[in-house]
């Protein structure tokens, strides 16, 4: 099977399909929606080996267990054997601290193209200019 070409259009089609809904912890939060988009465009299930969470309380417990949101994302990336990279279409990234409303004030993002990172917001999505760190297949 030929590899799927990851384009900004493909990413945004998935963003519109998956992120244009209210945010619900454990169902349509930044981790669930971003990893769903990543799986659709790359075939890699980032949550395959991750401990599940179902609501805000269990998400906070999981983040604390990992030592913070950044450490949790690093663990997810390592388990999936992702490569830390420069910004590129289809990469996942972590927002800088203070730019999200979730635990640790961070969010998981997906790169549309360098300079355009999409993250889940309360009622849809937002576009940020950069991620603090990012990973790709």
Q: 89-99: per-residue pLDDT in tens? A: 999 999 998 88
Contacts of 79 by beta carbon, 8 Å cutoff, 6+ apart:
46, 48, 49, 50
Tens-place pLDDT, residues 5-46 = 999 999 999 999 999 999 999 999 999 999 999 999 999 999
Q: Give the residue from 24, 19, 20, 23 showing the smallest Cα distance to 35.
A: 19
Within a domain: 20: yes
Among 129, 137, 123, which Cα is nearest to 109's?
A: 129
CATH number of 55's domain = 3.90.1720.10
Domain span including residue 106: 8-42+51-136
Q: Is residue 1 part of a domain?
A: no
pLDDT score of 20: 97
Q: How far is CA 22 from CA 8, 70, 98, 100, 124, in A?
A: 23, 24, 21, 15, 6
Number of structural domains in the chain: 1
């Amino acid at each position: 099977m030929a590899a799927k070409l990851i384009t900004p259009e493909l990413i945004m089609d998935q963003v519109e399909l998956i992120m244009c809904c209210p945010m619900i912890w454990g169902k349509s939060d930044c981790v669930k929606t971003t990893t769903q988009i990543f799986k659709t465009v790359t075939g890699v299930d980032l949550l395959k080996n991750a401990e599940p969470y179902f609501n805000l309380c269990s998400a906070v417990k999981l983040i604390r267990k990992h030592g913070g949101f950044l450490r949790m994302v690093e663990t997810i990336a390592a388990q999936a054997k992702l490569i830390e990279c420069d910004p590129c279409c289809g990469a996942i990234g972590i927002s800088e601290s203070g730019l999200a409303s979730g635990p640790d004030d961070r969010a998981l993002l997906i790169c549309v193209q360098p300079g355009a990172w999409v993250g889940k917001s309360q009622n849809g999505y937002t576009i940020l200019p950069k991620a603090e760190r990012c990973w790709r297949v």
